[in-house]
Amino acid sequence: MNTLRTLALTGLLGLGLNTPLAAADWPALPEVAPAPADNPTTEAKVELGRMLYFDPRFSATGTVSCNSCHNVMLGGEDNRPVSMGVHGKTGGRSAPTVWNAAFNVAQFWDGRAATLEDQAKGPVVNPVEMGMSELEQAMDRVRAIPGYRQYFERAFGADAMTVDNAARAVAAYERTLITPNSPYDRFAKGDKKALSAQQRRGLETFNAVGCTACHAAPTFGGTLFMKFPTFTDNEYVKRYDFMADAGRFAVTGNESDRHVFRVPTLRNIALTAPYFHNGAVRTLDEAVRVMAKTQLNRGLSDEEVKDIVAFLNALTGEFPEQSMPRLPATPGWAFEVR
């Protein structure tokens, strides 16, 4: 399931803790995300992708861009339970963070897009997100903006203004959205002072109770699918309405995929409240309690929760500085929006 966990144990983290931890199980986040062979990351693609990512004109109302719900000025999402698309419409799931999404095994909560390239097309034609009737309608808007042509040509050559290339550019940009050098990462690289004593206790508890089964370093999630909730006989499942969403079952139709979701990354988790696929849980400490109960059938002491939360705060990385794109104009006219 998770190849990262199958690495040979090559050392032990000198934590001074009760349980020796294998250093090979606790690597730091790579600073560069892998790119697929058919879409190598280039500066020209990243520049174009950044523009498209921030451009709201490809939504029905002209008000919703990728960044509206996956805000890179924040934790890569919108801090709402569920996102708000065109005309104030809302869906059933909470926006996943775009930061480090390049490391995910698949995209969307139900993994219905295998790649960032595929994912980029989804929200454009989702009636509660960007609300365009079809992808070519959105692309017609891109093509109608004279200033975009040169950026497509620079990135992809002549006659390049296609939906697929737009998606490739957005994906290339998203692959630059990596947040390395969190306190955890500095710790994993040998800076033993990078984590506080409480954070080190939290790391050990996180490991000891079994969180790492799904949320393993370096990404702490994103690399496999899992049933949620696994244990349903508890107060949380009803309170937060966790059984309402069939998860990946709606994609595959396989009974074994009922309530199965892509495990979310815990990178920058302190920045992305509220929590879970439906955004029903407002705070990180409650999210930790919920996870322990629903996935491990285990109660945690207040102290354990605090320690784990402290550790999770150590997964907040460094955000690369970004320039603000200038978006080319529709000179002397505007799209008919509704």
- Catalytic positions, written as ranges: 129
DSSP string, 285-317: HHHHHHHHHHHH-----HHHHHHHHHHHHTT--
Task: Give the total of residues touching a copy of itself (CB under 8 A).
Answer: 50
Residue type, 133: S
If one asks whether residue 98 binds a copy of itself (CB under 8 A), the answer comes out as: no
CB 272 within 8 A of CB 75: yes
CA 122 vs. chain centroid, Å, equals: 15
Among 86, 171, 214, 315, which residue interacts with a copy of itself (rule: CB under 8 A)?
86
Among 8, 37, 73, 158, which residue interacts with a copy of itself (rule: CB under 8 A)?
73
Q: Which residue carries 């775009």 as its tokens? A: 98
Record the tokens describing residue 312, joined without a space.
């999770």
If one asks whether residue 74 binds a copy of itself (CB under 8 A), the answer comes out as: yes
Interface stretch with a copy of itself, choices 5-13, 106-114, 121-129, 322-330 (CB under 8 A): 322-330
Among 49, 75, 180, 218, which residue interacts with a copy of itself (rule: CB under 8 A)?
75
**Shortest Cβ distance from residue 218 to a copy of itself (Å)?**
21
Neighbours of 92 (CB within 10 A): 13
Which 125-154 positions form the footprint of a copy of itself (CB under 8 A)? none
If one asks whether residue 230 binds a copy of itself (CB under 8 A), the answer comes out as: no
If one asks whether residue 337 binds a copy of itself (CB under 8 A), the answer comes out as: yes
DSSP string, 25-54: GSPPPPSS----TTS---HHHHHHHHHHHH
Q: How far is CA 26 from CA 90, 204, 214, 231, 244, in A?
A: 38, 11, 13, 27, 35
If one asks whether residue 89 binds a copy of itself (CB under 8 A), the answer comes out as: yes
Among 87, 192, 238, 239, which residue interacts with a copy of itself (rule: CB under 8 A)?
87
If one asks whether residue 336 binds a copy of itself (CB under 8 A), the answer comes out as: yes
Residue type, 116: L
Alpha-carbon span 85 to 142, nearest angstrom = 20
If one asks whether residue 239 binds a copy of itself (CB under 8 A), the answer comes out as: no
Interface stretch with a copy of itself, choices 86-94, 108-116, 194-202, 241-249 (CB under 8 A): 86-94
Which 241-300 positions form the footprint of a copy of itself (CB under 8 A)? 270-271, 273-274, 282-285
If one asks whether residue 47 binds a copy of itself (CB under 8 A), the answer comes out as: no
Among 2, 42, 79, 234, which residue interacts with a copy of itself (rule: CB under 8 A)?
79
Alpha-carbon span 105 to 122, nearest angstrom = 17
Enclosing H/E stretch for 262:
strand 260-262
| Contact residues: a copy of itself, CB under 8 A | 54-57, 61-63, 68, 71-75, 78-81, 84, 86-89, 270-271, 273-274, 282-285, 309, 313, 316, 319, 321-327, 329-337
